[in-house]
Every structure is written in structure tokens, then in C-alpha cells.
Structure 1
């Protein structure tokens, strides 16, 4: 039986102060998964910046490969560095290094080398002025195309990036070895699914994609 929702269910309570300001309550009903990756840039002081990111999609258009990042906070280092350098690298981790990638959320001060302090290895990109994470199985080097507010005065923006170069581990593009999917491949953000009738919440977690034939 389908049910209709135009306003936030009364059963929903914030897991932390400001949760429903930072996110829509609709996000938690739909709980649509999105790939997890780390966006890396250089801050104006030359230090590494790393932002664990999701809510994004990838499309090919007229021979170009485009990443649409759905939500970048205007108040964060990622937005600032994208404005300054016009480029970044998208780094896709496998689950064995996820805990280290999560540490980039902790080590995010302006004077921090965020990749190195998280226990990961920084290496120079080939085509853009941004660092790559060596341990990630896929690195996509990108140039900034445009940004757009979600709505007038919104605190976040959507950005479009054009891929300029790809570096990928050969064991991951070989589906007979580690592959791109399953427990050794792409990770997906599953954002606090909630039951609108009971308010029951599943803690934030990540999942993998299983191929069906």
C-alpha cells in the first residue's frame, strides 16, 4: 500500500541539533543511495584538503564525462578551494580504507594536511593542480565547469565537473579479479533510512552494488 507524504511525519525527531536544517526529511524517507568518494584539492596555503562526499551522479555528454556533485557547502574548504583552483580529484575508496577516509572529517583544519594526517598517501595529479589519494582504486581528475545555488540564498550549491584524466587500478576494472562492484568495489552512502510511521532509524552506513544478469 502506498502512502502520501507532503509534510514531515510527526514521528521524526532530530538525531542531532540542526539535522533537518542540513538535510531534508524527505532524504530519510527515500534513503536513495549514492556513491561515496573523497574530493581532494589544495588549500591556498598549499595544504591538502579532503572532503568525504556523496549525493552525486556521473553522466557522459557529447564525448565529455561530467560529474554533478549535488551538494557542496558554501562554508567549507571544498567550496573555497574549488573557487580558487577550479579543479579537484575524485578518489574512490574500497571498504578496506574507508575508516581512514572517514578520518578526513576529523582532520579538517585549515593548516592540516588532511590526506596525510588520515593515514593515506598524497600524490600529484597528472592534469590538474590537486592531490590524489594513492590508495583509492579510482582517481578522476576534474576541472570545475559551473556552480549553481539550489535555490536563491541556499547555503549549498550544486557543481559540475569535467573529467580530464582517469587513473584506475587494473584489478578493479577486471571483473574477474577485484572488480568495480560487490564488497571490493564502489561504496554507496545509505543515509539514515527512517520508517515514517514509527520513526525507527537505521544508523548511517554504507553498502555495495550487486550485479544482476
Structure 2
């Protein structure tokens, strides 16, 4: 037997899936729970300070008859440092973190003042990219140097955009060359799964998952 969901089920009312629309989320994300990779995207702000932005809702694909490899970031805030600095420089680095440094990467959400080096302030080490004008995070096991290609509003007038970056080149730690998707590899973001037929009205529940859940805390 299949259950059918077009409107928000009554059991989800009063849960985080209900009021999360205030933060740009939709109840369907909690019911359908499709994971996406967790990324730390880095750029230089106009004052030269490194910017670091946690991102998810992303996918990667080839195009241009196989001559290009691209990242599609589905939800980039037009009011954030990442978007503004990317439009100024056209360059960014997509950094993949292991579970060991997940907490430090999440700390960049709080250390996001314009005058701050957001990478260093979070206990991480900024490095110099080889092919683009953006910092990379040394502790991250894979860094993808990227250039801005295009953007599009998914809904007209929205404050978030769908954004495309072309991946120019990569840096990969020696210990991850043989396995980038195992227990110490790529982390995925998934909102707390809620059974719409039987839901406890808990508060702010979300998690990052690899082979186990990592609590995102209060970020």
C-alpha cells in the first residue's frame, strides 16, 4: 500500500516540518528526505578576507559533450557573503569535509562577520588555490576549484538562486584517493525524517548522515 501526499498531512502540523518554511524549507523535504552532499564553499570577500559557507542541496554533472564537469547548487542566498563574493570574483572552491572536522566546518556559520577570516576563526587552515582566486580549506580531504557559469531563480523574485559552477580542477588527499565515499568520506545532509502517519511533535530536528548520524546542534 502506498500513501499519497500533495498537501501537508495533519500530523506534521506543529512540527519543524511545518514552521521551517520561515527558513526557506518545505514540508515535502521532511517527508521525501532525499540526501544531498554537505559542502563548505569558500571565496574571498571584497576586503580580501576568506569567506566560508556551508552548502547542501547540490548535485554534480557533466555537460558540453563531456568536456566540462559542473556543480549545481540549488539554494544560494542572494543576501549572503558567498553569493556576493562569487559575483565579484567569479571563483570559488568546493571543500568536502570528513566527520572529524564537521564541527569546525559548522562553526563557520557563526563566524560569518564581514571583517573576519571565517576559515581561521573556525579552527581551520586557509590555503591558496592553484587555478582560481579563492581560498581552499587544507583540512578538507577534497577541494574542487570552480568558476561561476550561470544562475537562475527557481521561483521569480525569490531570494535564493540555482547556481552553476564549472569545476576546473581538484586536490585530493592521498589517503582518500582509493575511497572518497566510505565511512571517512563525503557527508550528506538530510532533514529529520518524519513519518507523516505517526509523528512526534519534536522541535528542531535535523542531521548529517554518513553511515551514522551526526548531530548538527543549534546551528
- TM-score above 0.5, yes or no: yes
Q: Which residue number corresponds to residue 207 of structure 1?
A: 209
Q: Which residue number corresponds to residue 16 of structure 2?
A: 15
Which stretch of structure 1 is more off in the superposition, 93-102 or 182-191?
A: 182-191
Which of 33, 42, 49 is matched with 1:40 structurally? Answer: 42
TM-score (normalised: structure 1): 0.91
Secondary structure class of the residue paired with 1:26: helix
Alpha-carbon deviation of 1:137?
0.4
Q: Which residue number corresponds to residue 166 of structure 1?
A: 170
Alpha-carbon deviation of 1:14?
4.5
Contact 2:148 2:166 in 1 (8 A): yes
Which of 110, 113, 122 is matched with 1:118 structurally? Answer: 122
Secondary structure class of the residue paired with 1:183: coil
Q: Which residue number corresponds to residue 59 of structure 1?
A: 61
Aligned counterparts of 1:65 and 1:53: Cα–Cα separation in 2: 19
Alpha-carbon deviation of 1:199?
2.8
Aligned counterparts of 1:126 and 1:195: Cα–Cα separation in 2: 46
Aligned counterparts of 2:17 and 2:55: Cα–Cα separation in 1: 20
Aligned counterparts of 1:120 and 1:16: Cα–Cα separation in 2: 33
Aligned counterparts of 1:192 and 1:49: Cα–Cα separation in 2: 28
Q: Which residue number corresponds to residue 187 of structure 1?
A: 187
Aligned counterparts of 1:118 and 1:208: Cα–Cα separation in 2: 22
Which stretch of structure 1 is more off in the superposition, 87-96 or 60-69?
A: 60-69
Aligned counterparts of 2:5 and 2:18: Cα–Cα separation in 1: 23
Alpha-carbon deviation of 1:32?
0.6
Alpha-carbon deviation of 1:198?
2.5
Alpha-carbon deviation of 1:29?
0.5
Q: Which residue number corresponds to residue 217 of structure 2?
A: none
How many positions carry a matched residue from both structures?
206
Alpha-carbon deviation of 1:18?
5.3
Distance 1:182 1:203, change over 3 A: farther
- Is 1:102 matched with 2:106? yes
Secondary structure class of the residue paired with 1:182: coil
Contact 2:104 2:122 in 1 (8 A): yes
Across the aligned residues of Structure 1 and Structure 2, the Cα RMSD in angstroms comes to 1.8
- Is 1:84 matched with 2:85? no
Alpha-carbon deviation of 1:104?
0.4
Q: Which residue number corresponds to residue 196 of structure 1?
A: 196
Alpha-carbon deviation of 1:42?
0.6
Q: Which residue number corresponds to residue 132 of structure 1?
A: 136
Q: Which residue number corresponds to residue 27 of structure 2?
A: 25
Structure 1 gap ranges (5+):
none
Structure 2 gap ranges (5+):
213-219
Distance 1:160 1:209, change over 3 A: farther
Distance 1:43 1:17, change over 3 A: farther
